[in-house]
Copies of this chain bind each other. A is one copy, B any other.
Amino acid sequence: MAKMIDVAKLAGVSVATVSRVLMGKGKVREQTRQKVLEAIKQLNYKPNRLARNLRRLESQTVVVVIPDISNPFFTEIVLGIQEIANQHGYHVLLGNTNNDVKREIQFIEMVKEKVADGVILVTVRNPKERFLKLAQEFPIVFACEYIKGAELPMVTIDNVRSAQCVVNYLVNLGHRKIGYIGGPQQVIVSRDRLQGFIQGVIQNDIPFEPAYITEGDFGIQSGIEMATKLLQLPSPPTAIFAANDEMAIGAIKAIKNHGLSVPKDIAIVGFDNITMSTVVEPALTTISQPRRQIGQKAMELLLQLIHNPMLKREHIVLPYELVIRQSCGNPSVWSDS
């Protein structure tokens, strides 16, 4: 493989000049520049990034840590990240933790190894203190999941408000008996959505019924199980709100299995607006997060942070949207006050 010195020789100049042409800075006579470019083309030369990056002490790479690569919810975020990254000549390494808490840290350590210049975390399962320390040391941005009450760069929606909005919507449709299928409580968005749900219930003067609150693991199967549990209650709910679309889809399946109909007998609302929610029948009413935009914003923040570690850490809250389809009946425009 051709090296810079080969190019220099062929063009009859020094490596410094070749480098200047490549970097596009420093003065080079147009005529010389052409000679160099010609030599580069002739040798089909590409600079060795390892060498460049070692010298410049950067890797032009970022790591995106997600819990599950095969989950379409996360890939859309990655897409947004990649868009901005590529615009700035950065590469994106995908870190798939498979929900393994230890691997979260391993991926962050890649910054220490100079494999990456920064990290975007789309999963936050380790204890808060750990992240606070790590975020001090490395450029880290949190996307979707985050750390409560910390001055760190984070990009999320308002999970509390959005869950509350769903309750308002259901109450508005006349529901008073609303079941809830939450996510695992160790992840913050689950806690937020549960909190939003409870606030919504209370603010609408609905008697609080603990049996209506169940906890799944974000998988379809757990949606089926929890919905079944709710259906077997002496006074089952007339509407079920699931903390993500997969569980909502599971709930729909369970309800149909019980010979009931959605939305006639029971209304369903999901969360995330994944593609599948348009395919299921009835199409799912759900909260939509601006996933691509979250990814973009997170990457922009990370780039700023990499180039200016002293940057003020800010929590960016992007708008959510209630996408109304058929799973609650009465398709209609609606706006939360």
Contact = CB atoms under 8 A, between A and B. Distances in A.
A75 B70 contact: yes
Interface stretch (A76-84, A123-131, A185-193, A302-310): A76-84
Interface string A40-83: 00000011111101100001010000000110100110110010
B96 A93 contact: no
Q: Which of A61, A91, A220 has the most CB of B within 10 A?
A: A91
Contact of A91 (B75, B115, B220, B281): B115
Contacts of A49: 113-115
A1 interface: yes
A91 B93 contact: yes
A157 to B, nearest CB: 19
A186 B59 CA distance: 36
A279 B277 CA distance: 10
Contacts of A94: 78, 82, 92-94
A288 B213 CA distance: 37
One complex includes copies of this chain to the number of 2
A268 to B, nearest CB: 14
A54 B61 CA distance: 16
A336 B208 CA distance: 57
A88 to B, nearest CB: 15
A258 interface: no
A1 B70 contact: no
Interface in A1-58: 1, 46-51, 53-54
Contacts of A48: 54, 113-114
A76 B96 CA distance: 12
A276 interface: yes
Nearest to A77: B70
Contacts of A276: 275-276, 279
Contacts of A318: none
Contacts of A93: 61, 91-94
A264 B226 CA distance: 32
A132 to B, nearest CB: 17
A38 to B, nearest CB: 19
A313 interface: no
A63 B46 CA distance: 17
A50 B46 contact: no
A39 B78 CA distance: 38
Q: Lowest 5 A-B CB distances belong to which pairs?
A: A50-B54, A46-B112, A70-B75, A49-B113, A48-B114
14 contacts: A48-B54, A50-B54, A51-B54, A61-B93, A69-B78, A69-B79, A69-B82, A79-B96, A82-B94, A91-B110, A92-B93, A94-B94, A275-B276, A279-B280
Interface of A: 1, 46-51, 53-54, 59, 61, 69-70, 72, 75-76, 78-79, 82, 91-94, 96, 109-110, 112-115, 220, 249, 275-276, 279-281
